[in-house]
Structure 1
Amino acid sequence: MSDTAKFLIPLFKPIWNNCGLPVPMHKMYIGEYYNRFQWQLNCFDKITLLGNNTGNCFFIESVVKQLGLENCAFFADLRDNSKEFVQEHFQAIVVPSSNFIAAQESGGLNYFTSLMEKYDLPLLIIGIGSQLSPGEKPCSTTIKNLHKISERCTSIGVRGELTAEILVKNGIKNVEVIGCPTVFSSLNPEFKVRKEEPDWSKPVAFNTELQAAGIDFLLKMSRFSPVRFYMQNEMNFWFEQSRPHPYACKVLSWTAMQQHNSKITLPQFREIRSFIEQNGLLFFNTLDWQTSLRECVMSLGMRFHGNMMALQAGIPAVWLVHDNRTRELLNLLQLPTFKFTEELSLQQIYTEADYSEFNKRYPTLYSNYREFLLKNGMVSNKLG
């Protein structure tokens, strides 16, 4: 693949440019990154367009940044999606991937495989992971699709050792453990996490997940001050429209919160609602998100991308592990975790967070990721 290789990304597009401004559609298709209409939508529709999670922007933008914006185009921006046009202008379909390996069939992976077959191009997967629970087996259709994909590429990039083991057990051998593209979004092979003397007058950033454990953590963190709650997809699951109007605001829903955590009481719900109204934040571009995080002393939470956003902004982040997906990445990266206890001490979490092993491993992880891209024809000078 030449230095001028063009990569087609069949995913949604981040909405904003890196200055936090909406960018209209350009006449040229190559390198076009933003949708001409998305910026006009209300925030709830925007979250839906972003795959129901604003954190998805981070890993898609990371891959585009690493490959070079000038080398990438999004499928929705093509002026012609015929086989002849796509084959003439593109040399691979690139999927910054996520949790496609599950017990249930993955509609996303089915779609990407169909594009590979339609256009007769390699499908390059970057960072696929498993969301299987212990004892579950991956969907047979998913494995069949991954076999097809593996035959058309040098290797499949997986999130960690757990995912690699699942694929190898199912006969897919050309697998490389690369982690998540967001880990390398700095484009700096010497990136390090440095802990300064903490200034506790600054807010503590935190994120959580939708289910019962996440709501319990939110309630606990809401009682500290100062704190900031960085949301990613909560609005589309915990909130309801306040009145029948397309641009009406949404408010926290008692019914929805109870569906996710049946033990929550009405006083606790009101406490959470008041807290979110004053301290909840939601961003649609990574620049503003990271700028806000840099005002914080540290970041805690269950979201891998939410915490990695802080880490890449130079803010120490510590993870509360709640599933195998996050655990797999943290084991590979050797990043610090904490346990959620009744006597939660933010100062103790900060003090005990150790990044020495991560800093030691990082240059090798970075080099491995860069070599993975090169071996798969994704020639890029952006990674150094």
Structure 2
Amino acid sequence: MRILLTGIPSYLQRTIAQVSGTTVVHRPYFDEASTKKDLISQIRRIANTGNYLIGEGAAESLRGHDVTYLPFWHLANNRGSEDLYERVNREFDLCVFASANLLRPGYSADLEAEVFAKLKMPVVVMGIGIQRKEGLKDLLPAGTLQFLEVLRKKESFFLTRGYFTAEFLREQGMKFVKPTGCPSLYFAPNEMKRSLSALANPGLAEAQKIAFGGYLGSVADTIVDAHALLKPDSVASYVVQDEVVAYNLALTGDDNDIVYDRASGRITGATEYKHSEKWQRKSELLVYFDTNQWRGAMSSRDLCFGRRFHGCIIGMQAGTPALMIAVDDRMREMLEFIGFPYIEAATWNRDADKRAYLSNFLAKIDTQAVIDRYCACEANFRTALRQIGL
């Protein structure tokens, strides 16, 4: 089967030099990202480095097929080209669209609606999910409703992040809808199970080599977490995703100042952000544009902990135990579907002795039940792919 893969990309998008028709030319190197200007540019290209895991997981699930990744921006920018779409429809049998929080009030999928209306092939929307449950049915923009209408009229398959999204799409008249979880969950199943096996360890509450994730620059939550769990002489390691462009974590200095060491993934330049004065520990900010480097760095940690779903998933892909703090509906939907242990943000934030709370929480995890649930979800994902012909 000849598969057109588009939507959220893997980190290999950073090597794309040119796209012409259905041909993608890759450079044999990554763009430099050592200066302030270049670092911000690289972060803007993906907006959220966690998305790299979604694109990578979707691509991995298609291994063994004839797959070509065409950037969605190429399809959108050329939606007026009859020649391009004639060629696309001739050269491919199936389109797989790697998706994430597409169903949300603040995003109108006008371009997606136009592009998929031009495709004369079945479409698989993989990893689609919601941003917020409340009022979703009444608040979806017109472009997103049109996108759903386009797919309702053609042969389409929806692999959703969880149950709520599946229920919503069925109510919209979609025929093939399967809750399967985010495709990033099944990229490295053996390492995921190793991570889950290591999590039920109360001693992790005393770990000092922790990779934190959250919304630094917006709220002080991660700083509070680090103070609660780390000893005064420890270094708090925080992995940046989109904070530089979305949550006011600012790099100071001139555009051409060297602010990033790509070997270590560490931001070396000065930064400014809300609540930074509250730090009572040494801290470092890390950014990874290559998922292999990111996994390698997480493999040396004792624990990944925080409020970012994929910031913890990539640690699990490296076999490192990880625990998430659920902060919104999208995280809850994904976590409740896959059955991973997690802590509710409101509960965690108000607990006075966080280290003791964490130790007690970890001690109560039923490891076998968690692994059994994960294995069942992985089998469900593979079955859904086979049903589609993948």
d(CA) in 2 for partners of 1:211, 1:134: 26
Superposition CA RMSD, Å: 3.4
The 1:156–1:241 alpha-carbon spacing in structure 2 relative to 1, beyond 3 Å, is same
Tell me the residue number matched to 2:170. 168
- SS of 1:71's equivalent in the other structure is strand
Tell me the residue number matched to 1:9. 6
d(CA) in 2 for partners of 1:150, 1:370: 24
Tell me the residue number matched to 1:261. none
- After alignment, is 322-331 or 134-143 more displaced? 134-143
Instruction: Summarize the alignment of residues 302-321 of structure 1 with structure 2, pairs less than 5 Å apart.
Output: 302-321=307-326
- SS of 2:354's equivalent in the other structure is coil
Instruction: Summarize the alignment of residues 40-79 of structure 1 with structure 2, pairs less than 5 Å apart.
Output: 40-41=32-33, 42-50=38-46, 52-68=47-63, 71-75=67-71
Paired residue for 1:208, among 198, 208, 214?
214
d(CA) in 1 for partners of 2:149, 2:19: 37
Contact 2:127 2:160 survives alignment (8 Å): yes
Calculate the TM-score normalised by the size of structure 2.
0.78
- SS of 1:342's equivalent in the other structure is coil
d(CA) in 2 for partners of 1:342, 1:10: 43
Contact 1:14 1:57 survives alignment (8 Å): yes
Tell me the residue number matched to 1:130. 130
d(CA) in 1 for partners of 2:95, 2:369: 35
Contact 2:216 2:249 survives alignment (8 Å): no
Paired residue for 1:158, among 157, 160, 165?
160
- The aligned length equals 352
d(CA) in 1 for partners of 2:95, 2:159: 14
Tell me the residue number matched to 1:374. 386
The alpha carbon displacement at 1:333 in A equals 1.2
Over the matched positions of the two proteins, sequence identity in percent amounts to: 20
The alpha carbon displacement at 1:228 in A equals 2.1
Deviations along 1:187-217, one digit per CA (max 9) or x if unpaired, are 55994521276575650222113575x5223
Deviations along 1:40-96, one digit per CA (max 9) or x if unpaired, are 35221111101x111111110111122138513223689997122212222233221
The alpha carbon displacement at 1:99 in A equals 0.7
In structure 1, runs of 5+ residues without a counterpart are 17-21, 258-263, 380-384
d(CA) in 2 for partners of 1:271, 1:190: 34
Contact 2:50 2:311 survives alignment (8 Å): yes
The alpha carbon displacement at 1:273 in A equals 9.9
Tell me the residue number matched to 2:265. none
d(CA) in 1 for partners of 2:135, 2:333: 16
d(CA) in 2 for partners of 1:24, 1:163: 32
Residue 39 (1) aligns with residue 31 (2): yes
d(CA) in 1 for partners of 2:368, 2:198: 11
Contact 1:298 1:350 survives alignment (8 Å): no
Tell me the residue number matched to 2:146. 144
The alpha carbon displacement at 1:356 in A equals 2.8
Tell me the residue number matched to 1:183. 185
Instruction: Summarize the alignment of residues 337-356 of structure 1 with structure 2, pairs less than 5 Å apart.
Output: 337-338=342-343, 339-340=348-349, 341-345=351-355, 346-356=358-368
d(CA) in 1 for partners of 2:111, 2:240: 29
Structure with higher strand content: 2
The alpha carbon displacement at 1:24 in A equals 7.0
Tell me the residue number matched to 1:240. 250
Calculate the TM-score normalised by the size of structure 1.
0.79
Instruction: Summarize the alignment of residues 266-345 of structure 1 with structure 2, pairs less than 5 Å apart.
Output: 269-272=276-279, 275=282, 278-338=283-343, 339-340=348-349, 341-345=351-355
d(CA) in 2 for partners of 1:6, 1:143: 26
The alpha carbon displacement at 1:243 in A equals 3.5
Tell me the residue number matched to 1:86. 88
Deviations along 1:220-270, one digit per CA (max 9) or x if unpaired, are 31561444212211222333342443556464334xx2xxxxxx4xxxx22
Contact 1:161 1:328 survives alignment (8 Å): yes
Contact 1:92 1:123 survives alignment (8 Å): yes
- SS of 2:31's equivalent in the other structure is helix
d(CA) in 2 for partners of 1:154, 1:368: 18
Contact 2:8 2:51 survives alignment (8 Å): no
d(CA) in 2 for partners of 1:350, 1:128: 30
Paired residue for 2:377, among 338, 362, 365?
365
Contact 2:57 2:187 survives alignment (8 Å): yes
Tell me the residue number matched to 2:263. none
- After alignment, is 201-210 or 93-102 more displaced? 201-210
The alpha carbon displacement at 1:286 in A equals 1.2
The alpha carbon displacement at 1:364 in A equals 2.2
d(CA) in 2 for partners of 1:365, 1:241: 41
d(CA) in 2 for partners of 1:189, 1:229: 22
Letter of the 2:213 counterpart: N
d(CA) in 1 for partners of 2:216, 2:169: 29
